[in-house]
Chains A and B, each alone.
Chain A
Amino acid sequence: MSVVADIVFWIAAITAIAGGVGVIAARSPIYSALSLIATLAQLAVLYILLNAQFIAAAQILIYAGAVMVLFLFVITLLGIEGYPFLGAQLPFQRPAAVILSALLLAGVIFFVAESPHWLTGVHGNFTQQLNTDNVRAFGVQLFTTFFFPFELTAPLLIVAMIGAVALGKRRAGGTEI
């Protein structure tokens, strides 16, 4: 079993990283978007290997099935696929990018190395529950242990949506709302 899982893991991991490189290396935005879809799909495979089938399905359903489709709509409708990014740079963009990526990497390494994770720790016999009834275990955790953060995402999303609409309106009309 572990051999098969290993093979699947390496294929998925290498494809995911190749997709990630493709996102930033592609000349045309549509190929960047396609690379991102490939990465997201491979992440779903990795989730299945972690016995998190619900997350895997949600990953495909939401990211690949809805978010990236909207990206594709925007890219194809605006017809910008012919123009490569010419690089309109902000001042100090490169040093700022290097510093921020270094911070992100340090954060990832810190959270991966630290064990047990205080942020995403295992609660009770969750692993065992996952093996028997995946979606039920996930739902129970979501609506008991993580109820507050779960409900908090709802106002967060609404605020983000209103913010996006407000910003878009102001830029289009030239007046504040």
Chain B
Amino acid sequence: MNDWGDVLVTGIIKSVIALALLMAGGGLLTLMERKILGRLQTRYGPIRVGPFGLLQPLADGLKMLLKEQPVPANAKIGVYLVAPAISLFVAFMAFAIVPVGPSFFLFGKMRTLSVTNVNIGMLYLLAILSLGVYGVVLGAWSSANRYSLLGGLRAGAQMISYEISLGLAILGVVVLAGTLSPIGIVEAQKAPGMTWFVFLQPVGFFLFMIGGVAETNRAPFDLVEAEQELIGGYFTEYGGMRWGLYMLAEYINMLTVSALVATLFLGGWIGIGTGILWTVTAAPWAQLLGVFWFFVKVAFFIFVYFWFRATLPRIRYDQLMGFGWKVLLPLSVLNMLVTALYVSLR
């Protein structure tokens, strides 16, 4: 098989696997969220559908697919139908560069456990994340509803504001690792004299966590869907599976942000048993161990998301903007400068 054929076939295989895992993961997260929120509020959460309520996401999905999906009378129908798909498309694309485990040797080539390994990895990620605003703003505008429009503009302003500090937090890690590739960043945390970047970039870690929660419009930054002010926010006029697409995009974005926190700050797949075993000829179980540690880290940060939601009250819009521009942005610039100074003096 020539080079392009190889690239095409591996690309298709990886994409199909990643899509299936992300869809299933998004569905499972809804169940996980309700279970954890339930426990944190001393109730059970869903337990009726299937053992431990495990089939609840399937039931929900079926319900959404079979529901009537009304379109508002004045909606701009083309944009209205495309907008949720844009959100979901961006969510899928962003995950493409996340390495879920160590690379391995197969059929005469090094195979990465990410869908693609582009040499501008983190820049690609920032570029894709910056497109997420379109699904929200276009969906809001095309619904021909004031509440939707205000919610959409609010969401857009929030995403743009927090993207800047998010990007600068990533840049601190990139400067320290000396590469833009996520695989390179994970391996840089394994290099001698280095450790997980959460210890070397504690400020960047917190900036990224806060920026990531705000970027995905989750509590306590979920003003987008502040019921008492905006009804449902930008997806007020969406129903059935179209609404489901927005929700799925949100949950996949949470997965992506958690995976990025794990990759950038917590050493990705590095864990007990993978430190020295990662070589070209590593045993298959060492590979699986790497994937295992990665998923443990991701699961932890998903839990943190739900923990936030159960614990913190929603903040006010002016507080959100003030915090983003007057606290997070100067802090992230300072963090960036100090990191650059450290690297240049080292």
Contacts and interface: CB of A to CB of B under 8 A. Distances in A.
Contact of B119 (A58, A73, A135): A135
B141 A60 contact: no
A4 interface: yes
B156 A61 contact: no
Interface string A74-104: 0011000100000000000000000000000
Contacts of A56: 120
A15 interface: no
A17 interface: no
Nearest to B142: A30
A57 interface: yes
B180 A69 contact: no
Interface string B119-153: 11001101110110110011011000000010011
B160 interface: yes
Contacts of A77: 149, 153
A134 interface: yes
Contact of B127 (A30, A61, A73, A135): A61
B131 A53 contact: no
A168 interface: no
A65 B120 contact: no
A66 B160 contact: yes
Interface string A125-145: 000000001110000000000
A1 interface: yes
Interface string B96-133: 00000000000000000000001110011011101101
A133 B180 CA distance: 11
A128 B158 CA distance: 41
Given A4-B4, A73-B153, A76-B137, A135 B120 contact: yes
Given A30-B141, A57-B124, A65-B133, A1 B149 contact: no
A34 B131 CA distance: 13
Contacts of A81: 141
Contacts of A37: 134
A81 B76 CA distance: 11
B72 to A, nearest CB: 15
Nearest to A5: B4
B137 A57 contact: no
Contacts of A61: 123, 126-127, 130
Interface residues of A, number: 24
Judged by DSSP, the binding face of A is: helix
A69 B123 contact: no
29 contacts: A1-B4, A4-B4, A34-B79, A53-B119, A53-B123, A54-B123, A56-B120, A58-B123, A58-B127, A60-B128, A60-B131, A61-B127, A65-B131, A66-B130, A66-B160, A69-B134, A69-B156, A72-B134, A72-B138, A72-B156, A73-B137, A73-B156, A76-B137, A76-B140, A76-B141, A77-B149, A81-B141, A134-B120, A135-B180
Given A53-B120, A61-B127, 17 more contacts: A34-B79, A34-B138, A53-B123, A57-B120, A57-B123, A57-B124, A58-B123, A60-B127, A60-B128, A65-B131, A66-B160, A69-B134, A73-B137, A73-B157, A76-B153, A77-B149, A77-B153
Interface of B: 3-4, 79, 118-120, 123-124, 126-128, 130-131, 133-134, 137-138, 140-141, 149, 152-153, 156-157, 160, 163, 180
